[in-house]
Structure 1
Amino acid sequence: MKPNGDVYATLERTPDNAYLIARWTGIQTMNTIKEGGEVYLEVMHENPCPKLLNSHRELIGPWDFANEWISQTWTPKAIELGMRYMAQVLAPGIYGQMSFHQLHQRIGDMLEVKLFDNEEKARSWLLSI
């Protein structure tokens, strides 16, 4: 939660641990991205899960300022904890989409990443692998 009380992300696990779902909301800062990323790593440490549905459907604006931290710090830790697949639901806005495409260039050879325009398609892919 942001200092003003706004929720910037939620993380949930499917009941059968088939995948984790991270939903990012609103405008992100370096702090919110790091805090949300650290929560994911804590959850993975407690009970590893190889699949992540990472949804940006409600994300607003760019977040490419965090790409170095995500690719150099967060992604290697997530992989070490067992993440192998990421279903990425793209943001509706061009700036969020561009931020992810830049990140994808950095992490695309580290794990299997597929891009989607909605959560239903992302879920179907995760359940098929």
Structure 2
Amino acid sequence: MRQQFQNPTGTTFLITEFDQQNNWIYNNWQGLLTMENIQQGSYGILDIIQQSQCPYLLTDNTHLLGSWKHGNDWLEKVWIPQALAAGMTYYAHVKAPGVFGQASVEDMHLRVGSRLPLQLFDEMEDAVAWLREMQALDAKNQGPVSLI
């Protein structure tokens, strides 16, 4: 299952999909994000979490431009509780290259890092390795493990 989200000008701002082979939900955010983009895309991700029942998220912000900090209050208060209720357990987040994107995710981590294992990474390889480690722990323990 895959969804692609575009802004009114037809520019893609998110591709999200359940990657069955790796057993995670991959989110590729791109460009500049408006509050509407953040909400629309996040609800699309939530839909995939609910349909797939997959607890592992891999978010790639390496193609994101600028800040998305304006969405953090909504993400913290509305989306994160819904995603947790839907079964999201592990969140690997590859940071954007720019200072504004990095500040946005660091703010998000401060807000929700105590409620879910949200790990921040500079490189995709490190995020993938961490998710695989969490999957191995889950397989060993027969289900998601609370790291909090």
Partner residue in 1 for 2:37: 32
Gaps of 5+ in 1: none
Runs of 4 or more off by more than 2 Å in structure 1?
A: none
* Matched residue SS, 1:13: strand
TM-score (norm 2): 0.84
Structure 1 residue 51 displacement after superposition: 0.8
Note if contact 1:11-1:22 (Cα within 8 Å) is conserved in structure 2.
Answer: yes
Partner residue in 1 for 2:69: 64
Structure 1 residue 17 displacement after superposition: 5.9
Partner residue in 1 for 2:117: 112
Kindly, what percent of the aligned residue pairs are identical? Answer: 35
Structure 2 counterpart of 1:97, from 92, 102, 107? 102
Note if contact 1:17-1:49 (Cα within 8 Å) is conserved in structure 2.
Answer: no
Query: After superposition, what is the alpha-carbon deviation per residue over 1:55-99, rounded to whole angstroms, capped at 9, x for unaligned?
Result: 110000011110000000000000000001111100000000001
Query: After superposition, what is the alpha-carbon deviation per residue over 1:87-112, rounded to whole angstroms, capped at 9, x for unaligned?
Result: 11000000000011111111001100
TM-score (norm 1): 0.96
Superposition RMSD in Å: 1.0
Question: How many residues align structurally?
Answer: 129
Note if contact 2:25-2:49 (Cα within 8 Å) is conserved in structure 1.
Answer: no
* Matched residue SS, 2:111: helix
Q: Which moved more, 1:76-85 or 1:117-126?
A: 117-126
Structure 2 counterpart of 1:78, from 70, 79, 83? 83
* Matched residue SS, 2:73: helix
Q: Distance in 1 between matches of 2:93 and 2:131?
A: 11
Report which structure shows greater RCO (CA 8 Å, sep ≥6).
1
* Matched residue SS, 1:109: coil
Partner residue in 2 for 1:22: 27
Corresponding letter in the other structure for 1:22? N
